[in-house]
Amino acid sequence: MSLLNDLAEEFNQDTILFIGSGVSVPAGLPSWWKLVSWLKDYIYELGGNVETADIFLEEDSLINAASALTSQLSGLGKSLGDFFNDDERCDIFRSAVPKEIHDLIVQLPTSSIISPNYDLLLEKTYEAAGRKIQVVHKGDGEQLNSIMRNKLKSYIYKYHGCITTPERIVLDFKQYNAEKHGLSIDMECLKNLIQTKTFVFIGAGLEDPDFNHVRDYLIHVAQSPNIEFWAFMKNCERKVNHYKQEFGINLISYSVEDNDHSDLLNKIQELLFEISNVDERKANAVEFVVPAIGATDRVSGMLRKTLVQANEEVIPLDEQILGFVAFFDTVEKEECFRYLNVHKGSDLDEVSNRIDYLVQRKLLKATDHFLLPVKESYSAEAAERVEDDIMEYLMENKNG
């Protein structure tokens, strides 16, 4: 069995995607080296000293080069936020348009994402797909606690900052060190997730500071067989065994020639195909374990089969959501939330997460204000299951 097959078996709605800067480059975003060079140009034009930064750039020591440059900013009466706001080249962080790789990433059956990227490409891709996702910023204790408690599942956690708040962006060695060795809620969250979730790195290199930070942390905890860590890396065939043995990291190699990363797209498409095969096999297993007897039973089996295929288990809240929406054919989101929260006692955040997931798996449709059923037999079955409860809910509203 190939590594992609293995990853497809492990992949589920709780898998976390770690999206590195390499994913943004096809959309015109600068590489690490180019961004630091832009900062050097900015400081030079202001009259700052860039000699030390030049030395570090020649040595490919990007974090040290960035540190040498940011130390010049305060003496010039400027900040890193000023650089991102003032330098016209940095407008690309706001204006860049998503590419094919972003569309493929959004098709993966998870919406838990961590990224050091400052741009808005993933946010734009989810918005274009009509899917709601929460952007969590560096230092947002309330949202990070929700992530650690598994109450928030559809999110993009931008732990190095975002172009929307450039004054909080992390770039230099001092900031990286504070992130890496500090006791912040951000580091607590990252360490918690590494030990409890399946991680998949896309768009980072073996020498990427963010990848190495996670790798170095794994040195201390990799004895645990429960850690699942995967990374798509270019031309790394000869390092696959070493990284697996030393760090417990599964490297999936893709070919790059003349800066052509199209094989990474092929690998992600192949992963999507393998995940689809795994889902189909699980569904067939359910059908074998719960065989249909008659026409009614065949219809009844569709809801269970569909939910197991999507979740690996039947989640009662999913049945309630699908049933409520299918009962009315089209229903306002607020009404669905009211039914599930007030009448059924479900947590609002959990309801929101499950609706987002059902939409992601194409078991439900959504607009900004309405929910619509998918016209399949499992929708009819779900509506039938909750019909009596909905009638009770409607009577309570009428009498209350």
Q: Is residue 281 part of a domain?
A: no
Task: List the 249-254 sheet strands across, edge first.
Answer: 134-137, 155-158, 112-114, 16-19, 198-202, 228-234, 249-254
At 53 the pLDDT is: 93
Task: Check if the beta carbon of residue 52 is closer than 8 Å to that of residue 72.
Answer: no
Same domain, 53 and 168: no
Q: What is the DSSP letter of 133?
A: -
Residues ≥6 apart with Cβ < 8 Å to 250: 3, 6, 7, 229, 230, 231, 240, 243, 244
If asked whether residues 363 and 232 sit together in one domain, one would say no
Domain assignment of residue 173, yes or no:
yes
User: What is the reported pLDDT for 76?
Assistant: 94
For the domain that residue 346 is a member of, what is the CATH number? Answer: 1.10.10.10
Which of 241, 273, 305 marks a domain boundary?
A: 273
Same domain, 247 and 379: no
Please indicate, yes or no, whether residues 233 and 162 belong to a single structural domain of this protein.
yes
Number of structural domains the chain divides into: 3
Same-domain pairing of 8 and 81: no
Report the DSSP pairing between strands 198-202 and 249-254: unpaired
Least confident of 23-27, 230-234, 394-398: 394-398
Q: Which of 211, 245, 273 is the last residue of a domain?
A: 273
**183 phi/psi in degrees, rounded to 5:** -110, 35
Kind of pairing, strands 370-373 and 331-332? antiparallel
Q: Using N-to-C axis directions, what is the helix angle for 185-196 and 209-221, rounded to 10°?
A: 60
What confidence score (pLDDT) does residue 291 get? 45
What CATH code is carried by the domain that includes residue 172?
A: 3.40.50
Per the model's pLDDT, the better-predicted residue between 183 and 143 turns out to be 143
Whole-number Å distance between alpha carbons of 203 and 348? 34
| Cα angle 155, 207, 119; round to 5 | 35
Max Cα-Cα span within the chain: 82
CA pair distance 57, 351, nearest whole angstrom: 49
- Tell me, yes or no, whether 153 and 257 share the same domain: yes
Position 47 scores a pLDDT of: 95
pLDDT grade, residue 260 (50/70/90)? Answer: confident
Average pLDDT over residues 170-199: 72
**Greater confidence, 283 or 20?**
20
Q: At what angle do helices 316-328 and 348-360 cross, to 10 degrees?
A: 70
Q: What pLDDT was estimated at residue 295?
A: 38
Does the residue 285 lie in any domain?
Answer: no
Tens digit of each residue's pLDDT (9 = 90 or more) over 44-91:
999 999 999 999 999 888 888 998 999 999 899 999 999 999 999 999
Distance in angstroms (rounded) separating the CA atoms of residues 342 and 325: 16
Q: Which domain holds residue 89?
A: 32-93
Q: Based on the domain organization, do 78 and 116 belong to the same domain?
A: no
Given a cut of 60, whether residue 314 has pLDDT beyond it is no
| pLDDT at residue 179, rounded to an integer | 56
For 270-302, the pLDDT digits (tens) are 999 888 888 776 555 544 444 443 334 434 455
Closest CA to 228 of 5, 20, 6, 2: 6
Does residue 269 share a domain with residue 128? yes
Q: What is the mean pLDDT of the chain?
A: 83
